[in-house]
Amino acid sequence: MYNIGIIGCGHIAAVMAESIKTCPDHRVAAVASRTAAKAKKFAKEHCPDAVVCGSYDKLTRLDGLDLVYIATPNTYHYENAIKCIKAYKNVLIEKPFAMGLEETKSIFTEAKNRNLFVAEAMWTSFMPLHKTMIKWIEDGRIGEVRSIMSNLGYDIEDRPRLTDPAMGGGSYLDLGVYPTNLAVSILGYNITPVSAYAHRFSTGVERDVHYILERAEDGATAAAYVTMSNLTDRDGSVIGDKGYIKIRNINNYEAIELYDAKGELVEKAEREGLDGYALEIIECCQAISDGMIQAPSMPWSKTHAIAEIGDRIRGMI
């Protein structure tokens, strides 16, 4: 049985705790909140057998945790991760991994020095449909990739965390990392932003961001629109010179469709099985058990590339 600790008893931590119940040999063994009463309520609702910790420090002092999942606001990921790593805990950190490349590199250095596992909880990377889509591309089913287009938008501007600069709010860090992960997964790490535009809330963080990434060697591009002010269809297209792929919901793959150069549907795959949260927990625990310090589906090099691109985009808008 793998024992998972959770830091931060908010929205996504609750979703994760429920998903862990669907994993075969995994359980939430401890939960930590800044207040004991909140941790107790969370445990009662989602994981009644878990050790309840009224501070994050208390959880980091527990023995027997295989993995600690950090589900705090974006600006706290770094300090929470470093605290865990210094206490010799393996960590899975919610996206965005940190507030930029410097923090990202520092987390990797601290983990490497202690031979500890670290991964970014970029759940889309762990989804089977994401992997099938990458295989279609690697097998040449759409030829040379020319363009990726995707959008991701929700009507979430009323959530204080998301518009608060002190929490790392704004649509790039909360949503933009998904299209960037899609672009990096398909075009590789050597892509750079060539254009970026943002419309901001009065708090200063972005409401909408439009951006284009380019692979200079062949001019392949990835264009994205992310917003916190309205729901979008969340679809993506990957266009090659011999066909194209439609992704239904780039944030939680529902289906992928492969079309040939004449626009005829030739293959379709739909989501089945465990959700992305469960899959990332299972893969991370398996990697730890195999003595690895990185997750095969979300290696450090990929998180590094996403952080570097994110810094550049945020520097342009």
Q: Is residue 107 part of the contact set for ligand NAP (CB under 6 A)?
A: no
DSSP label of 88: T
Of 11, 21, 199, 268, the one binding ligand NAP (CB under 6 A) is 11
Q: Is residue 40 part of the contact set for ligand NAP (CB under 6 A)?
A: no
Q: Is residue 303 part of the contact set for ligand NAP (CB under 6 A)?
A: no
Of 2, 76, 78, 201, the one binding ligand NAP (CB under 6 A) is 76
Q: Is residue 10 part of the contact set for ligand NAP (CB under 6 A)?
A: yes
Count of residues in contact with ligand NAP, rule CB under 6 A: 20
Beta strands at 26-32 and 236-240: parallel, antiparallel or unpaired: unpaired
Q: Is residue 298 part of the contact set for ligand NAP (CB under 6 A)?
A: no
Distance separating alpha carbons of residues 309 and 303, to the nearest angstrom: 10
Q: Which is nearer to ligand NAP, 100 or 243 (CB)?
A: 100
Which listed range, 71-79, 206-214, 240-248, 257-265, lies at the site for ligand NAP (CB under 6 A)?
Answer: 71-79
> H or E stretch including 256?
strand 255-260
Which listed range, 58-66, 68-76, 265-273, 284-292, lies at the site for ligand NAP (CB under 6 A)?
Answer: 68-76
Of 71, 107, 184, 245, the one binding ligand NAP (CB under 6 A) is 71
Of 73, 128, 143, 299, the one binding ligand NAP (CB under 6 A) is 73
Of 60, 74, 90, 171, the one binding ligand NAP (CB under 6 A) is 74
Which listed range, 33-41, 107-115, 149-157, 287-295, lies at the site for ligand NAP (CB under 6 A)?
Answer: 33-41
Query: 260: which strand partners?
Result: 243
> H or E stretch including 253?
none
Distance separating alpha carbons of residues 132 and 240, to the nearest angstrom: 16
Q: At closest approach, how far in Å is the CB of 158 from ligand NAP?
A: 13
Is 142 in contact with 240 (CB distance < 8 Å)? Answer: yes
Distance separating alpha carbons of residues 102 and 168, to the nearest angstrom: 15
Distance separating alpha carbons of residues 224 and 164, to the nearest angstrom: 23
**Of 157, 169, 1, 11, nearest in space to 76 by CA:** 169
Cβ-count burial of 110 within 10 angstroms (0-12 exposed, 13-18 middle, 19+ buried)? Answer: middle
DSSP string for 185-248: HHH-S--EEEEEEEEE-TTSSEEEEEEEEEETTTTEEEEEEEESBS-----EEEEETTEEEEEE
Q: Is residue 180 part of the contact set for ligand NAP (CB under 6 A)?
A: no
- Interface map 128-167 toward ligand NAP (x if CB under 6 A): ---------------------------------x------
* Binding residues for ligand NAP (CB under 6 A): 8-13, 33-34, 38, 71-74, 76, 94-95, 121, 123, 161, 174
